[in-house]
Structure formats: structure tokens, C-alpha cells
Amino acid sequence: MIDLSGKEAIVTGGGSGIGRGICAVLALAGARVLVTDVSIESAEETLKYCERLNNLTAAKIDVTDIASIEETVSRHVADRGKIDILVNNAGIVGSKDWWMRETPSNEDWLEVYEVNLRGMVKVSERVAKEFESQGSGKIVNIASISARQGSPDIPHYSTSKAAVVSWTQSHALKMAPHNVNVNAVCPGLIWTPIWEAIAKKRSEFAGSVEVDGLEGRQLFDHTVKSWIPLQREQTPEDIGNIVAFLVSDLAKNITGQSINVDGGRFTN
């Protein structure tokens, strides 16, 4: 087990799915985790999910709102004295009812950009001030394997995640003189609320993707078998495990990288 005892972590989008898995693994490794989400109720659900652990707290954050970011980060620093780890996981696939539209709307593009890319940048830039004064820090940005290859049904999402990969590289170079590592993780196929919505869209607009009449979880399982060489789905805890490694001292010489956790879907 990687030992993150004494480390202070902030995870955005920690209220469900991949974010919840990341929070659980970091807490199990000994870090004190601030679970943040635009929904405080969802963040508190993650605390219940990790009820056997007492090193998690919850807070609301809107990654599109600089005032919200400032309030949450400043309060954390005042309470805990430092930040060691930032995981930018908050992400969306579109605006309300996006899966009901065959072609992404202008609002889909704008909202995905504001959350997935600009939100990540805003939080990182605020936390970077703390890291620069400390002379240390770890940042992990959650991208997607959709950044590796375009997606005809969610092009706005895959484009935003490709931008996450590119910005990770740029930010790693900027932060390296301050002894800060910046990396990205590209998750594969994970059954989360986001993928459930993707399955709804692919079932509705079967012309864009071969679905063989399948829906929901059956469609997801079919996609895993079709796409993944290891023939098994990935889990939120799989992503938590690689994040824990990247924020540990074992990865002190890894920065500017984007690591696939996808069962072999992509090998570069």
C-alpha cells in the first residue's frame, strides 16, 4: 500500500463515479481528503460510502466560479495549513438532456468547455499559488481515452479531454521549477452515471454506433468485450490506484504524462 499519511488532498467532482473511487483510495492510503463537488449532497454521500474512514470531509465547489474556488481553497488552507495533492476530476458530457440530441448543441459545447477545461485550469491556478509558496505539490487531471481517438457521438467531450491532455503537458513545464508534478490519467470504460447516459444516447441514435439493439448495462458490457483486449471493465478504484501512485514519492520523476488505464484499448 502506498503511504500518503500526512498529505492533504483536494478532489473535485468527488461526489460520484470515478471521483468517489479516487477519494476512497487516497483516504485508504492515509491522505486527508477534501471531497468537493458542485452538489454538497453528493460529496456527503461519498463520506457515507467511506464511512469506515475518518479522514474525509466534504465541501461544495463550483469549478466554473472563481469566487467558489477561492472560498473553498482558502478555507481549506486556513483549516489544514497546506495542500499537497490536487485531483481535477470534475467533468460533464453536456448541458441538460444532452443525450437526447443527436448533434451537440452550442450549450453542450460551452458548458463542457467551462467545466472540463476552464474549470480544471481555474482550480489548478488557484492551488498553484499554494504549491509555489510551499515548493512542492502534485496535480493529477482526469482526462479520458476519448482524448486518444475522436468520438462521433460525443465530439464536444472528446475534444475537451484532448485539451486536458495538452494543458497537462503545458502546466507540467510551468510548474516543474517549483517541484510540482502534473500528470493526467485517461480512464477507459467505467460504468458510471456518465457512461449510463452515453448508453442512452447510443441506443437512441444507433446509426452513429453499432449497438446490436442493446441498451444500458448490456450495451456497456458489449462495448467492453468489443473494445478491451483484457476483456474486463475498469473501475473507479482502478483510477484511484494510479492517482495514488502518481501523487506518491514513487512517481517523483514522472511529470507531463497522460497514462491510460483502459485494459489495453490504446497502447501509446
Catalytic residues: 157
Rounded to 5, what percent of the chain is helix, strand, coil? 50, 15, 35
Half-sphere exposure of 45 (CA within 13 A, CB side): 14
11 beta partners:
35, 87
CA distance 123 to 232: 33
CA distance 266 to 268: 6
Q: Is the dihedral of CA 255, 260, 264, 265 positive or negative?
A: negative
